[in-house]
Amino acid sequence: MKVTVNRKTVTVKAHPLTRLLDVLREECGLTGTKEGCGEGECGACTVLVDGEAVNSCLVPVAQVKGTRITTIEGLGGSHPLQRAFVEHGGAQCGICTPGMIMAATALGPRPSLDEIRTGLAGNLCRCTGYAAIYRSVQRATKR
């Protein structure tokens, strides 16, 4: 089964019911995407599938056949959100950060504070109280 991950074509050998999260972490060796709960509540496993944010712990790999998947590793390292999360305290312990940044990339250009809060409501952070995450997203998305 073929899927594109971070612009590279990957042939997936795993059982079709394997969670996308496990295919990414184990078969593709992309450990940036994290498991925090296994029940789609924390969002630490968020990746983009054809530009849409999903919880990869809830997706059977069979259902992403032929799609384009983007993980934190696919952002390049100097994406404005990545820089902003470092500069403005959006990342503390960092375990929610990859999922949080991926969800933030799906917010669109110049989101309002309300849109940021709603768009990130599926990503739990226990360290920051979210305030620095809003500041990081706002700094990253201002022109």
Partner 1 sequence: MPIRRAVGRNVLRKEGHEKVTGLARYIDDIRFKDVLYVRTIRSTVAAGEIADINYHFDRTGFTVIDYRDIPGRNIVALIDEDQPCLATTRVRHIAEPILLLAHSDRTRLAAAEVAITYRETTPNFDPERSTLSFKTIAIEKGQLDRGMAEADVVVDGEYRAGHQEQLYIEPNGVVAVPENGGVTLYGSLQCPYYVHRALTVLLNLPAEKVRVIQTETGGGFGGKEEYPSMIAGHAALMAMKSGRPAKLIYDRVEDMLATTKRHPAIVRHRTGVKKDGRLTAMEIDVVLDGGAYATLSAVVLSRGMIHASGPYRCDHVRARGRATMTNTPPNGAFRGFGAPQTQFAIEAHMDVIADRLGIDPLRLRERNALRPGDTTATGQKVGKDCSALQVLREAGRRTSFSKKRKTFKGSNRGIGLSLFFHGSGFTGGGEVKLASKASLALTERGVQIRVASTEIGQGTRTMHAQIVAETLGIPYDQVDVSIADTATVPDSGPTVASRTCMIVGRLLERCAEEMRGRLGRNTPAAYFKKHGGFVVTKQYEKPPGLEWDDETYRGDAYGSYGWACDVVEVEVDPITYQATPVAFTTVHEIGCAIHPMLAAGQIEGGSSQGLGYALLEEVVMRGGKMANAQLTNYIIPTTLDTPPMTTKILENPYKHGPFGAKGVGEMPIDGPAPAVVNALRHAGVVVSEIPATPEKIMKAML
Partner 2 sequence: MQGTIAGRELLQPRSLGDAVKMLRDEGPLVPLAGCTDLYVALNFGTLRPTRFLNLWNLDALRGIETRGNALRIGALTTYTEIMKSAAIRRRLPMLAAAAREIGGVQIQNRGTIGGNVANASPAGDTLPVLLAADAVVVLRHAAGTRRVPMTSFYTGYRQSVARLDELIVGFEIPPVRGRQWFRKVGTRAAQAIAKIVVAGVWDTVRGEARPRLAMGSVAPTPLRLSQTERALGSGASLADAQQIVQREIAPIDDLRSTAEYRRQVAANLVGQFYGEARKR
Using CB under 8 A as the criterion, which residues of the chain lie in contact with partner 2 when the complex forms? Answer: 15-19, 38-41, 43, 46, 52-55, 57-60, 62-63, 65, 103, 106, 118-123
What is the C-alpha separation between 79 and 113, in angstroms, rounded?
A: 20
Single out the residue of 82, 105, 107, 111 in contact with partner 1 (rule: CB under 8 A).
82
Residue 33 binding partner 1, by CB under 8 A: yes
User: Which residue type sits at 80?
Assistant: P
Q: Which residue has the tokens 């990545």?
A: 82
Query: What is residue 19's DSSP assignment?
Result: B
**Residue of 2, 65, 110, 126 interacting with partner 1 (CB under 8 A):** 126
Tell me the pairing of strands 46-49 and 8-11: unpaired
| 107 contributes a contact to partner 1 by CB under 8 A | no
Residue 40: Cβ within 10 Å count: 15
Which residues lie near partner 1 (CB under 8 A)?
25, 30-39, 41-42, 44, 71-73, 75, 77, 81-83, 85-89, 91-98, 101, 116-118, 120-132
